[in-house]
Amino acid sequence: MKNIIMYTSQFCPYCSNAENLLKSKGFDVSEKIYVDQNPEELTKMIEMTGKRTVPQIFINEKYIGGFDELRKLDNAGELDRMLDV
């Protein structure tokens, strides 16, 4: 089972796109961390990734990046390999 963590906010179309892409591969996001509801989590996300935007995605503790990076991995066939699809 893949552990997928996504830092997100309530109204984020890119977060929805990332989640839909993962669902199309047969995977659900294991944990959603809402940075708009918890400033400490936003600070933690920025410290870990250097980014202030959401989504920020981790698969099995490996930092992937945002939706654009997730889509690039998918287009290159790398996402299937990471997810063992």
Q: Which domain holds residue 39?
A: 4-83
Contact 9, 15 (CB under 8 A): yes
pLDDT of 34 above 90: yes
- Total number of domains constituting the chain: 1
pLDDT at residue 10, rounded to an integer: 94
CATH of the domain at 58: 3.40.30.10
Taking the model in full, what pTM does it have? 0.94
Q: What are phi and psi of 75, to 5 degrees?
A: -60, -30
pLDDT in tens, 40-56: 999 999 999 999 999 99
Q: How far apart are CA 76 and CA 81, in angstroms?
A: 10
The stretch 8-26 carries a mean pLDDT of 97
pLDDT at residue 85, rounded to an integer: 74
